[in-house]
Amino acid sequence: MPIYLIGMMGSGKTTLGNKLSKILNMSFIDLDKEIEKIENTTINNLFSKKGEEYFRNLESKVLKNTEAKNAIVATGGGIILRKENRLFLKNHKTIFLYVPVEDLIKRINPDNRPLLKDGKDRLYKIWDMRKALYNEFKKIDLSNLNIQESLAKILYEIIDEKEEILENDFQEVIIKYKGLMDLKNKKYVFASKNVYRIYREFFNKPFLLKEGEEKKDYKNLEYIYQYLIENEISRKDEIYGVGGGSVTDLTGFIGSTFKRGLDFYFYPTTLLSQIDASIGGKTGINFSKIKNVIGTFSIPEKVIIDPITIISQDEKNYLSGIIEGFKIAIIDGNTSLFTENIEKIKNRNLNILEKIIKYAAITKLKIVSKDPYDNNIRRLLNLGHTFGHGFESITGITHGLSVGWGIKKEIELFEDKIKEKDKKIILNFLKKILPEEIFKKDIPTEKLKNYIIQDKKINNNSIIDFPIIKSIGNVELEKIKITDIIK
């Protein structure tokens, strides 16, 4: 079934449609491009040589030809002028991408737009003439949203609700498309500012947290306790954490300590938090620059994973999640899910993303259920983290990318232990996913040292259970003296 995107020129129909098609495994049709192909000329030329009437007739015909296609169809801005087109579009899935005219003007190059040959200000007139017609369709407001965020908002219109419980004995984890819609009637929601900005219509007065580890600190914790007291939260109330790992970690810590424990729920909105932070019952805050040094083991009532929210992530944070997933695959064995789908991963194909989320989440659940309090095999998940945490603290680079760097560093350090073939597979994937400047970055060991010795997993004889990659699917903990690593 085709999905039609309508909207003013410059509203992003082509860019977003093209990307959407890759996310959804559909083909992409740009009506203007189809017309140009048929007539073997540009739209500009067609307008000036044969006139608008000729163009509109052709446009209607081409539009109807897409009816049987499984495609995202980007239409021309004027398509809604004809009643027959509007009738056709109403009989199909059609979405109106709304962007305020002020913003459109900034984006558009008038040279390619025949209707703007007398100047951009004409856009206001065009909008005034057409807005009633556009508004007959389902409108998505893309004001102040970037491309990824816009895609997510469109997906929220296109995709059907769908829910699947991940089978495991450890904690309740549900993949739920459009899960954020649950939040409308919830009272005590802690949300990252960023998620609130994008998905505002799903919230009802949340307590807003700045995204990023720096807000998962002692001072912010104090504000939230104060907020809960002022709002007279009772032990029977429920709290919700919506955002990345820092939001869910903090919410979990509050949920496990306020009045000795409230029920708490996670809606992780980043890939990293969906497959890592929200799974396994670790909560925590940072203290004195040390990550998660204060925390509890406490399992949320439910974790609701909405894969659409991954589409709205910025690139670095998205890839950060991919690398944590890849880390899990190195431990468990199924790296081909990643290495054979690099293009799809880069295009955020939802089908492959759902597979990655399920695989990584279930694998992590399998590991943590064997060792909930992190005394032995759960430490395998620490792969790349001893160096990665240090790198993250020094450079401020996102967690997963830092872990990617850490995996590379640790492979180099224990080069003699890993199978040559697997080393190549891993480093090759990291090279394709990590930005080049990170992949190649070097940090003097002296600088890393101070952070490495604060690793929670080091015991009082300075021994750490260090995950060593022998081969893909065979990572083993070895007792390593931390001072030996530093040397």
Q: Which two tokens stand for residue 330?
A: 């190195």
Please select the residue that binds its own copies; options are 49, 259, 419, 431, rule is CB under 8 A.
259
Residues 47-76: x/- map of binding to its own copies (CB under 8 A)?
A: ------------------------------
Asked if 134 contacts 98 with a C-beta cutoff of 8 angstroms, the reply is: yes
481 binds its own copies (CB under 8 A): no
Task: Give the amino acid at 419.
Answer: K
The answer to whether 212 is a known ligand-binding residue is: no
- With H, G, I as helix, E, B as strand and everything else as coil, classify residue 470: strand
**Size of residue set near its own copies by CB under 8 A:** 37
The answer to whether 75 is a known ligand-binding residue is: no
Rounded CA-CA distance 238/10 in Å is 44
The nearer residue to its own copies, 282 or 344, going by C-beta atoms, is 282
Contact window for its own copies (CB under 8 A) among 81-89, 153-161, 279-287, 314-322: 279-287
Rounded CA-CA distance 102/124 in Å is 9
The answer to whether 113 is a known ligand-binding residue is: yes
Judged on CB neighbours under 10 Å (0-12, 13-18, 19+), 341 is: middle
Contact window for its own copies (CB under 8 A) among 115-123, 233-241, 360-368, 399-407: 233-241
Residue with tokens 């807003």: 208
Site for its own copies in 353-412 (CB under 8 A): 373-374
Rounded CA-CA distance 484/487 in Å is 5
Beta bridge partners of 174: 165, 304
Rounded CA-CA distance 60/79 in Å is 8
91 binds its own copies (CB under 8 A): no
Site for its own copies in 428-457 (CB under 8 A): 453-454, 456-457
223 binds its own copies (CB under 8 A): no
Contact window for its own copies (CB under 8 A) among 57-65, 111-119, 203-211, 285-293: 285-293
Please select the residue that binds its own copies; options are 98, 127, 207, 297, rule is CB under 8 A.
297
Please select the residue that binds its own copies; options are 83, 205, 236, 487, rule is CB under 8 A.
236
Contact window for its own copies (CB under 8 A) among 136-144, 243-251, 257-265, 390-398: 257-265
459 binds its own copies (CB under 8 A): yes
For 82, residues 6+ apart whose C-beta sits below 8 A from its C-beta are: 56, 60
| Cβ-count burial 210-242 (b if 16+ within 10 Å, e if not) | ebbbebbbeebbeebeeebeeeebeeeeebbbb
Least distance to its own copies from the beta carbon of 290, Å? 6
Please select the residue that binds its own copies; options are 40, 91, 288, 444, rule is CB under 8 A.
288
Least distance to its own copies from the beta carbon of 256, Å? 7
218 binds its own copies (CB under 8 A): yes
225 binds its own copies (CB under 8 A): yes
40 binds its own copies (CB under 8 A): no
414 binds its own copies (CB under 8 A): no
Site for its own copies in 135-164 (CB under 8 A): none
The answer to whether 269 is a known ligand-binding residue is: no
| Cβ-count burial 52-63 (b if 16+ within 10 Å, e if not) | eeebbebbeebb
Rounded CA-CA distance 166/369 in Å is 14
Contact window for its own copies (CB under 8 A) among 95-103, 258-266, 327-335, 393-401: 258-266
Helix axes 315-332, 350-370, angle to 10 degrees: 50
Least distance to its own copies from the beta carbon of 1, Å? 46
The nearer residue to its own copies, 78 or 281, going by C-beta atoms, is 281
277-280 long-range contacts, CB within 8 A, separation 24+: 277/244, 277/245, 277/248, 277/249, 278/173, 278/245, 278/248, 278/303, 278/305, 279/171, 279/173, 279/303, 279/361, 279/364, 279/365, 279/368, 280/170, 280/171, 280/364, 280/365, 280/368, 280/372, 280/378
234 binds its own copies (CB under 8 A): yes
Asked if 370 contacts 380 with a C-beta cutoff of 8 angstroms, the reply is: no
Specify binding-site residues: 10-15, 32, 56, 77, 113, 130
Which residues of the shown chain bind its own copies in the complex (CB under 8 A)? 218, 222, 225-226, 229, 232, 234-237, 253, 256-261, 282, 284, 287-288, 290, 292-297, 373-374, 453-454, 456-460
